[in-house]
Structure 1
Amino acid sequence: MASIFRTSLFATSIFALAAPGYASAQGAANGKGASQASDELGARSDIVVTAQRRQERVIDVPISITVANQAQLERQQINSVNDLNRIAPSLEIQSAPGQNTGGGGSIRGIGTQTFSPGATASVGVVVDQVSQGNANISDLFDVARIEVLKGPQGTLFGLTTSAGVINITTNAPDPSKMEARLRTELSDAGTAGSKFGQQVVQGMLNVPVSSDAAVRISGVGNFRQGTNRNLVTGKLDDINRYGVRGRFLWEPSSDFTINLIADYFRGTTEGRSDFFTFTKTTDDRVARLASCGITVGEGNQDYCTAQDLHSRSENYGGSLQLEYDAGPFTLTSITGYRQGHDRYNGNNIFRVDPLDLQILAGPDDARIKLFTQEFRVSSPGGQTLEYTVGAFLSHQRSVQDQGYFNITVTPVPGVEIPIVRSLGAINYVTDESMAVFGQFTLHATDALRLIAGGRYSSNKLTLDNYDKAVGTTRQERLLSDKISYRFGLQYDLARNTMAYATAVRGFKGGQISIPALPAQPFILQPEIPLSYEVGFKSTLFGGWVMDLNAFYQKVRNFQAQQCVSDPDTQGLSCSSTNIDGVVTKGAEINFFGNVSKGLTLNTGFIYADASYPKNYVGTDGSNIGGSQLAYAPKYKFTLSGEYEAPLSSRLDAFLGADAVWKSRLRYEANSNVDATFRPHWIAGGRIGVRTADDRFSVGIFARNLFNVHEPSLYLTGDGEQQAIYGPQSFRQVGLQLDAKF
């Protein structure tokens, strides 16, 4: 009840901000801003993307792309980066705490999952043309479009893109009209079968300043109760996040544009939600867990500890984008800055007080600062030789103050035996990069285009590791200079049908791996993918886009993490390593857009055979060479659709559905069946009504309708299994409301 009251107060404050725009919004009955209206996926307009750092029709771009516009994102309740794996069959987001470096997950089975603060991502996240590095945003709101670009994208997007890019574009201010919006998604734990509660409130206000300038302010409040419950207090964990973004757009002349963007996010957590719970264990532990009310089994949400567990996080930044059309070319400058701060008060790893074995991690404090600067010169589109050339630099500095790490055994009450005592360490990581790049497209004939591009990158990675136990600092440094490239051709088979073939070499800088316990940091070599792709794109039924592709990619020095349960301490022991010769190959087909009037359907299927090299030995000593990589389903199907039909001249009804199917998923680099999750469907949908002018709507939604407990992570060993479950692992049913003014 308190959470609903708090949500109502938050919604009221946003509405108070938005309401003044209502009186001035006459003529804006459709409630759609210019950026949204121009970006609709449908038969009446082409789908425009910026996958090559310029605006182009998606069917003209020789890259496999999955596109989701604002309507689809809201329909599927994509409220965070972790939700994005539901929009593209090739994309998997690892949502385990601290595991998903850079936030981008994996594409076609290739990604970077590691706890090491000295790592960078394989899938880059770019927001409004600014790379997020490791200072990534979490919440998504007022987003116009998301493009998932598959395969190495280093030529134009640079570092942390050796597997692909998640390219996010938020809604731009509109100088032509004032408008406002308020939307909510409300669910409560235990109501209508919901296994956790969540209240999401989003608001937007667009204010014209003059005929050539406008301000757009948008905000979000995301309040979640669960998914874990502390049986000592009887309460679900409380996770609250707030965010606000401001954008200022000014076009002082027809050839000069200024974009100023700033955002701020804050999060608090009471409890340690989405962390390990016991799903299978020994008879002795079953009894100890039962003594405080925990029932061991799949989908266990419960833990029991009197320890106060909480965390705080802040993330903020901004960018200044200047664009000048000089006639024969366009000059672009993008300056970005981000800063993040995460604080944890400590953690009982098992979160079960009656256990005889206790693993305690002390307070952890992590800070990160990222500065980026990019300059580009681009030719106009449609000429014989199109080009984009530029320079890029970035400076990322992170400081992680790791608290103590203690493992103790209490065989009888009052007797505590220490096994491991660590005072922790402070790690200072500096990642500097400079690059020059260019890509050229030659229109050899009206139908044939030839593509060539390259990027030279120079990177310096430095780690200063201060060991609190001995009071000494060790330094490691890694220098790397590499050239990445893209070659290809594309041919127009018809007006709205195109085929292409590309060969791409990517590059991701090395890592300095930092062990959890005091030990010498060690260097992982840069990751070098070589990718070949052929594809076919066409527009069907006047607006439904088909994207079909086949790919083969071999990765030299794939950067992987292997985690096992330590038999001596029964804790989690993780190490990073290079794996030479990882291969991903397969094919994918996607359809997105409007099939017909009233029917929108976005669906896709991928076969991605992402495998370990021949004779590779897993963490359990078995030969897993040729078998599927961890975190990489071999088959995956996604679907999101909505059908709308009129009820009257003023009211329409809508019925939506979304589903994801995955083949068996492995979580550890071994042959242990307990470290895999079975093939499964996760399905949901929505039903409701909206006004014919699209200003107001109300509906009922369900996510994970059949309550399938797909974990974020498994930890196995000695006949035990522990799982991390997130919001995707449990059923949610609720109410959604939307109002545009």
Structure 2
Amino acid sequence: MQKTGQKTRQFALLCGVAVSAFGVPAMAQDATSAEPAAAAPPPSEIIVTAQRRAEKVTEVPISITVASAAQLERQQVNTVNDLARIAPSLEIQAAPGQNTGGGGSIRGIGTMTFSPGAVASVGVVVDQVSQGNANISDLFDVARVEVLKGPQGTLFGLTTSAGVINITTNAPKFGEFSARVRTELSNAGTAGAKYGNQVVQGVVNIPISSNMAARISGVANLRQGVDRNATTGDLNDNNRYSVRGRLLWEPTDRLTVNLIGDYAHSSAENGGDFFTFIKTSGPGSFFGGAGYDAVGITDRLASCGVTVKEGNRDYCTSSHYKGTTSNYGGSVQVDYAADPFTLTSITAYRKSGELGSGASSNVFRGDPLELQVENEPVDRNLNLFTQEFRVSSAATNTIEYTVGAFYSNQKQNRDPETVNVTLVPAENVVIPIASTTVPALTIRDESLAFFGQATTHIGDSLRLITGTRYTTDRLSLQMPSTADTVLNAEEWSWRLGAQYDLARNTMAYATVSRGFKGGQIAVPTDGRTPYVVLPEIPTSYEVGFKSTLFGGWVADVSAFYMKIDNFQAQSCTVDGTGVISCDQKNVNGVKTRGVEVNFFGNITPNLSLNTGFIYAKATYPKGYLGTDGTDIGGSQLAYSPRYKFTLSGEYTVPIGERLGAFLAADTVWKSRIRYEENSYSGTTFRPHWMVGGRMGLRTQDQRYQVSVFVRNLFNVHEPSLMQSSFPYTTDSGEANVGAIYGPQSFRNVGISLDAKF
């Protein structure tokens, strides 16, 4: 792997340059003057913004999983997809076209659709700004992540019908120059690593004046694999670069200005993490007897070095193509303390674009196959503008309130996109089968909302919660030679509840919430007229309690029931030409119910432990027919494990006066997962454990650290997506299966270095 080794050497040089660059100003200071990192506050004092105001996590009547910066780094949570390992209720399927808006699913409910007009069920909010569908990928210099479960539409808007991933990055600090470099380095084939990954994160905090400071942070995330081209022997390159700048200014003791800007660029070779074959058939007829393959898919792939089996990540093609995406944006937040309330204005703009061959230029990536399906290059871009105004009361008021208005305008443009299907029965013989073009389109989603939520203190122990949001939403589709398709919606969201302090460290709560997710305009790939998918309306009931144990370990226990009217579902099948076609539709009667238990924080000064378990029965309604025509009513939704367990912890031991050793674990267990809306067991994945961890040394002042790590120790091949009839089903009934594997699907072993100056 000469290419992989060269990447590793380049990154080793990059790390050395980065350390040297940050080390220059540090050497100019007295080394003894550097202050040690502040100790993390007890979990009972963890501050969250789940209700758009700063509160202790133990006082918020919402089931929340909180991950601090230390936990995120301990678990190597470097991307949004990695967040599925911190919360038992959260699942994120890292596959092209999935997870509109990037937030995945919570308690089994999410948006997984190829529809260009879809919005997320789980919203992603970064520094109080909704990302819409122009979402971030990499996480770096993050202070805290909060996973809020259940509808959060009252305060967070129409893309949060199942929950919110609320991300807070580190703010600049006044009067302090500091810098940091953090790396995670692995190489394919070294110490059992199945792919290579080099991550370098850097940050510098610059004091400008007594009331102004800047913070600049960035990350380079270079990955070789997991997919491998058997024709060339090369692992796919998947490279991402991101940078963020923050400016904090307090011109007066009442006025605060936050200015944030970020830019990200990514590229992937030959489709990146895309379909490979894990089950194939031998000789036989296909397309209803219209074709006959005397060799069979299994042997055709074997002829180019691909062995079909579970965990196969090989494909074989002499073609080379590259897809790129960019994502950038900025926000201005102004807070003014006009006693007895605070005024907040947040103005934000984001843009994302995809240019090149896209993620699926060659769907099967198998040169010897008779059937070939290729997507021509795509050009897509998205623009999002949001404006929010809020008025928040002081936390000491008898009635604590937040009221405001929110406007968003999201516009997506796509150039024409063409899919070509050909049959290659012999060398240099190409028979065109079909060519389909989706015309250029523009989708605009414009919404305006007014909202408010109040907590009324009834005595010292009882508090009542009331909240409402009125949303108007206009979704429109423009296509050449087609009349505009428009969907107008007006809807109320609300929340009612009560919380009661059972004891000094224990609080119980009960809430009922009604959410709202905007509609979709589905654009069929087979030339049918676009059609409307109605807005989704969830109603959720939740009871729970929170308690602080052992002086610092927090328990968060909840039971929930949610029913969704007009659930926005998607069914994907492979049509007669081998093209994957997906239909969007509304389904009534989808439910999720269950219980969740989370414990997080420090049990002792040397032991931190975050663990959780969820039972989430998320089911299709009675009589629901799957893509294979069977009744799957009452069975578990696709992509949703019924049971999930997570555990992350670290134990530290002092070694002398200057050093400490640590041992950390990162474990997830999931029950069986299905990947299609049918009864076919071949596209399910068995119950399984994913085990990782790290061990190393750090200085007592937390400035320097070195460790070795392992992810997916037992090399369990959990897929991101599976598709049957790939590329077709033979007349004998054999269902070929394709799977998409990501970095979570294979073992990775490496070394991590961390230095603070």
CA offsets, 1:216-274, max 9 Å, x none? 00010000000001112211001111111000001111111110000111112222221
Distance 1:511 1:26 in 2: 58
Match of 1:484 in 2: 493
Deviation at 1:363, TM superposition (A): 0.4
Amino acid across the alignment from 2:459:
T
Between Structure 1 and Structure 2, how many residues are aligned? 729
Distance 2:436 2:537 in 1: 36
Match of 2:453 in 1: 439
Contact 1:15 1:203 in 2 (8 A): no
Distance 1:200 1:30, change over 3 A: farther
Contact 2:85 2:646 in 1 (8 A): yes
Match of 2:667 in 1: 659
Distance 1:20 1:252, change over 3 A: farther
SS of the equivalent of 2:415 reads: strand
CA offsets, 1:450-473, max 9 Å, x none? 01000000000011123xxxxx24
Distance 1:278 1:41 in 2: 49
Match of 1:272 in 2: 271
Distance 1:127 1:17 in 2: 29
Among 559, 564, 569, the residue aligned to 2:577: 569
Distance 1:127 1:395 in 2: 18
Indicate the RMSD between aligned Cα atoms, in angstroms: 1.3
Distance 2:525 2:352 in 1: 21
Determine if the alignment matches structure 1 residue 334 to structure 2 residue 334. no
The worse-fitting range, judged by mean Cα deviation, of 283-292 and 307-316 is 307-316
Distance 1:162 1:24 in 2: 51
Determine if the alignment matches structure 1 residue 389 to structure 2 residue 403. yes
Distance 1:609 1:28 in 2: 55
The worse-fitting range, judged by mean Cα deviation, of 680-689 and 344-353 is 344-353
Deviation at 1:4, TM superposition (A): 1.5
Calculate the TM-score normalised by the size of structure 1: 0.97
Within a 5 Å distance, the mapping from 1:299-698 to structure 2 comes to 299-345=311-357, 347-466=361-480, 472-566=481-575, 568-698=576-706
The worse-fitting range, judged by mean Cα deviation, of 510-519 and 181-190 is 510-519
Distance 1:693 1:31 in 2: 5
SS of the equivalent of 1:288 reads: helix
Amino acid across the alignment from 2:187:
D
Deviation at 1:41, TM superposition (A): 5.1
CA offsets, 1:629-686, max 9 Å, x none? 0011000000110000111111100000010000000111111101110000000010
Match of 1:137 in 2: 136
Match of 2:116 in 1: 117
SS of the equivalent of 1:410 reads: strand
Contact 1:21 1:178 in 2 (8 A): no
Match of 1:168 in 2: 167
Deviation at 1:31, TM superposition (A): 5.2
CA offsets, 1:707-736, max 9 Å, x none? 000000000133211100000000000000
Amino acid across the alignment from 2:573:
V
Distance 1:124 1:462 in 2: 21
Match of 1:10 in 2: 14
Contact 1:162 1:507 in 2 (8 A): yes
SS of the equivalent of 1:693 reads: coil
The worse-fitting range, judged by mean Cα deviation, of 328-337 and 399-408 is 399-408
SS of the equivalent of 2:528 reads: coil
Contact 1:21 1:205 in 2 (8 A): no
CA offsets, 1:306-361, max 9 Å, x none? 11221111110010000000111000000011011111326110000100000011
Distance 2:669 2:141 in 1: 28
Distance 1:609 1:616 in 2: 16
Distance 1:77 1:389 in 2: 37
Determine if the alignment matches structure 1 residue 74 to structure 2 residue 56. no
Distance 2:146 2:232 in 1: 43
Contact 1:243 1:265 in 2 (8 A): yes
Match of 2:51 in 1: 52
Contact 1:587 1:608 in 2 (8 A): yes
Distance 2:597 2:752 in 1: 31
In the alignment, structure 2 segments of 5+ residues that lack a partner are 283-295, 730-734
Contact 1:292 1:304 in 2 (8 A): yes
Contact 2:124 2:165 in 1 (8 A): yes
In the alignment, structure 1 segments of 5+ residues that lack a partner are 467-471
Distance 1:711 1:423 in 2: 30
Deviation at 1:17, TM superposition (A): 4.6
Distance 1:520 1:545 in 2: 53
Deviation at 1:172, TM superposition (A): 0.4
Contact 2:437 2:525 in 1 (8 A): no
The worse-fitting range, judged by mean Cα deviation, of 14-23 and 231-240 is 14-23
Match of 1:469 in 2: none
Deviation at 1:520, TM superposition (A): 1.1
Distance 2:354 2:66 in 1: 32
Distance 1:564 1:21 in 2: 59
Deviation at 1:26, TM superposition (A): 5.4
Deviation at 1:514, TM superposition (A): 1.5
Amino acid across the alignment from 2:59:
D
Aligned structure 1 segments of 4 or more residues deviating by more than 4 angstroms: 24-28
Deviation at 1:19, TM superposition (A): 2.9
Amino acid across the alignment from 2:340:
P
Distance 2:718 2:194 in 1: 14
SS of the equivalent of 2:347 reads: strand
Q: Percent identity?
A: 61
Deviation at 1:27, TM superposition (A): 6.4
Contact 2:672 2:686 in 1 (8 A): yes
Deviation at 1:72, TM superposition (A): 0.4
Distance 2:640 2:454 in 1: 34
Amino acid across the alignment from 1:180:
A
Within a 5 Å distance, the mapping from 1:194-213 to structure 2 comes to 194-213=193-212
Contact 2:612 2:645 in 1 (8 A): yes
SS of the equivalent of 2:200 reads: strand
SS of the equivalent of 1:88 reads: coil
Amino acid across the alignment from 1:498:
M
Distance 1:114 1:208 in 2: 45
Contact 2:229 2:315 in 1 (8 A): yes
Amino acid across the alignment from 2:10:
R
Calculate the TM-score normalised by the size of structure 2: 0.95
